[in-house]
Amino acid sequence: MTEPKIDLHEFLAEAEEIIGELTGNLLKLGEGIDAGQMEPDLLNSIFRAAHTLKGISGMFGFTEMAMLTHKMEDMFDSLRMGRLSLNHEIMNGLFEAIDLINEMLVTKGRGEEFGMDRVESIVARLEHPTGAPIAVVFGPAEDTDIDKGILNVLTEYEEHRLKENIKAGNAIFLIGAEFTLTVFDEGLVELTGYLKSAGEVIATLPSTGKDKDTLHFDILFGSHKDTAFVEDMLKGRNLAVKVVKEHFAPSGAGAGQAEVSIPSELRLEETTLRSVSNTVRVDIKKLDSIMNTVGELSQLKASISHIADKIRLEMGSAGPAIELSKTSRALEKRLKELQESMIEVRMVPVHQLFDKFTRVIRKFSRETGKEIELVTSGGDTELDKLIIEDLADPLMHIVRNAIDHGIETPAEREKRGKPRAGTINLMAYPKGNHVVIEVEDDGRGMSIEAIRKKAVESGLIDEASSHTISRQSILEFIFVPGFSTKDEVSEVSGRGVGMDVVKKNITNMSGTVDIDTEEGSGTRIILTLPITLAIIQALVTAAGAKRYAMPLAGVQEILNIKPSDIKTMERKEVYILRGRTIPVLRLEQFFKPAAASPHPPHGGGQGEEKAEMCGIVAGLADSMLCILVDNIISQQDVVIKSLGKLLKVAGIAGATDLGDMGTVLVVDVAGIITAAGRGMGERAA
């Protein structure tokens, strides 16, 4: 038999998925430390995940990862067997091990080797955890009425769980159930799942039934519910219920008992080999390739529509012209459906990213000695998978700054009348064709005066000008590379890197960054991102001799503007739209400053003033801009291609192929708005 072949990329995807599940379950497990509670099923799930990770890493010859996961598995086994008591020190060691495994996966993905020093250090810590007392083993379960034959066949783990249930004062039941051979597997799974709603299934022991076509199971079950409740919930199932030990310590089961509904009768279905999951892993590069093909089909569709219009003009409403027009419209409809479906395939919920920050904040909280609580909302909001991946680093920088610069120490917070624990809110919600991600903390906030003084000291602005610029313009200084108001360097932040990376990465994703802060109360960072960058609707515009594609997602409205409509305020061109003053930017002048004088009368160029232009009002919220172009040629779907690292141009997001119109540059609306806000239009080229 040929062994199934698994390539490295599939291993990395599988390992990443297991680590994500393992991390989430560990966090849930850690919530019960202070209460001294451990959910057995949760601990078993964690144990199995570590075992699986050990197995697949060993298959690929990743010795370091296999060794580390083996020690993790041993520790989980000691915890589930009651040989070790869970505490915060053990949890910290396990999270450090998971962080190290994540680093290993990144290193392996690059084809590099990983050093053994750190692995051996973590392994030693897992082997000898400090402050982790050995649990007191409860005495034998010989005072129960369980048949000795059953006790003798219990595994070590099952015997441990029986003792733990007795120790907790739970009643122990022996439930007898019989199933036909054709449905015993589904029936047993359904019954044990139902029993778990009221207690713990300690062991399931098969034996022969009354006849050769049946199987009998003795289910050892522990519950804090009383006998009457258990018998009532199993009424009508034809099950033998025997009480083998009453409650050791009455737990007041009669008070506040939840009503348990009885599920429908067992479904008599044949065993099947079909998979339970319908999920298929697909490499994002394959989706990119398909999206490129869809983009090319869109261009062909546009050509067909153009040909159909020409034939109809030449032949009138003759048969072939009408048929071709109908076919063109049908093709356009199907292509739109295909594009929407492809975009949906690429979408993933934001909680995949948010969930990772629980562990990160736990780590930073420990390093800084601060108490921090993470609150997330809107995790079901979806974004393109590639945007989610690119968002990880900038979001990490924001959270670091919130912890190091924003959240105060517990003692300082108490002096200010705040709770000892600071709060960081991670929020996501859709807004039109965009998704907004907010990171809010209730820390000390940003000092506008401190930022202004630092900007003057750094030579970014002179003293006189620093008193005349707006509050928002002062906040923009924190995005300057190397700018930091913190003098000392910590392990978390303060190196003068971070917010400039945030701005650069978000701008590369055609997004915007806004800051709302109040000194003493906290800071809110707002990231506005397009849902996807794979395929977008765009306006094809003409500005001077050039053509540009402008993403429609950022466009609010389109206006016909006369030269007399443009006013000048403080040497800047503006347009008054329904009482609101909006800055004006001439697209041709932005990319070619020599094409027009900086401040012509009525906003005109050096040459002949155009009678009328198109004003594209773009942006979100306070970041609005009226972009002037000569005219709008068409609206169509485009696939954005990167220009590469060597061709980074301010205000350009990439390029697209428009068939007959050739290659056209795609405008980065967010980048233009940012540059215009800083008065960088003259330097854009």
User: Residue 664 is part of a domain; what is its CATH number?
Assistant: 2.40.50.180
66 shares its domain with 194: no
Residue 81's pLDDT is 78
Last residue of one domain, picked from the residues 509, 530, 551: 530
pLDDT at residue 681 is higher than 80 = no
Nearest to 43 by CA among 54, 32, 59: 32
Averaged pLDDT for residues 191-201: 80
110 shares its domain with 166: no
633 shares its domain with 563: yes
Question: CB neighbours of 359 closer than 8 A, spacing ≥ 6?
Answer: 23, 27, 95, 98, 99
Lowest mean pLDDT among 5-19, 81-95, 272-286: 272-286
Last residue of one domain, picked from the residues 506, 530, 554: 530
Averaged pLDDT for residues 317-346: 81
Residue 491's pLDDT is 47
Which CATH number do you get for residue 55? 1.20.120.160
- 663, part of any domain: yes
218 shares its domain with 341: no
How many percent of the chain have pLDDT more than 70? Answer: 80
- 78, part of any domain: yes
216 shares its domain with 171: yes
pLDDT at residue 141 is higher than 60 = no
- 174, part of any domain: yes
Which contacts of 658-665 are long-range, i.e. CB under 8 A and separated by 24 or more positions?
658/299, 658/540, 658/549, 659/299, 659/300, 659/302, 659/303, 660/303, 660/306, 661/540, 661/547, 661/633, 664/540, 664/547, 664/548, 664/549, 665/546, 665/548, 665/549
Alpha helices, DSSP H only, in 252-374? 284-315, 319-346, 351-354, 356-368
Q: In what order do the strands lie in the sheet with 171-180?
A: 200-208, 214-223, 171-180, 240-245
* Tens-digit pLDDT profile for residues 385-435: 888 888 888 888 888 888 888 899 999 999 989 999 999 999 999 887 788
Nearest to 86 by CA among 27, 37, 159, 148: 37
Residue 415 CA from chain centroid, whole number: 36
Averaged pLDDT for residues 477-491: 68
Nearest to 248 by CA among 161, 158, 138, 172: 172
341 shares its domain with 356: no
355 shares its domain with 340: no
- In angstroms, the CA 24 to CA 12 distance is 18
What angle in degrees, to the nearest 10, is found between the helix axes of 499-508 and 385-401? Answer: 160
- 135, part of any domain: no
Angle formed at CA 667 by CA 438 and CA 674, multiple of 5 degrees: 45
Residue 683's pLDDT is 35
Averaged pLDDT for residues 294-308: 78
pLDDT band at 346 (very low <50, low <70, confident <90, very high): confident
- 227, part of any domain: yes
659 shares its domain with 552: yes
- 272, part of any domain: no
pLDDT band at 252 (very low <50, low <70, confident <90, very high): very low
- 63, part of any domain: yes
**What is the CB-side half-sphere exposure of residue 276 using CA atoms within 13 A?**
2
Averaged pLDDT for residues 490-509: 65
Residue 602's pLDDT is 41
Q: In what order do the strands lie in the sheet with 566-569?
A: 555-561, 613-620, 623-629, 580-586, 572-577, 566-569
- In angstroms, the CA 486 to CA 502 distance is 18
Averaged pLDDT for residues 216-242: 78
pLDDT at residue 68 is higher than 80 = yes
374 shares its domain with 521: yes
- Residue pair 173/221 in contact (Cβ under 8 Å)? The answer is yes
Residue 523's pLDDT is 92
310 shares its domain with 227: no
Residue 543 or 183, more confident: 543
The tokens describing 593, both together, are: 């400053």
Residue 305's pLDDT is 80
Residue 441's pLDDT is 92
Residue 609's pLDDT is 59
197 shares its domain with 339: no
Which CATH number do you get for residue 177? 3.30.70.1150
Residue 104's pLDDT is 83
DSSP-based three-state secondary structure for 377 = strand
pLDDT band at 682 (very low <50, low <70, confident <90, very high): very low
Domain extent, residue 225, equals 148-245
- Residue pair 425/448 in contact (Cβ under 8 Å)? The answer is no
pLDDT at residue 232 is higher than 70 = yes
- Residue pair 159/192 in contact (Cβ under 8 Å)? The answer is no
Number of domains in the chain: 5
Lowest mean pLDDT among 123-127, 148-152, 525-529, 611-615: 148-152
- 252, part of any domain: no
pLDDT at residue 261 is higher than 60 = no
Residue 186's pLDDT is 76
163 shares its domain with 291: no
pLDDT at residue 146 is higher than 70 = no
Residue 142 or 328, more confident: 328
- Which amino acid belongs to residue 39? E
Residue 468's pLDDT is 83
Residue 620's pLDDT is 63
Range with the largest mean pLDDT of 130-144, 407-421, 506-520, 587-601:
407-421
pLDDT at residue 157 is higher than 70 = yes
Which CATH number do you get for residue 478? 3.30.565.10
Last residue of one domain, picked from the residues 464, 499, 530: 530
Residue 425's pLDDT is 93
With tokens 């809107």, the residue in question is 378
pLDDT at residue 174 is higher than 60 = yes
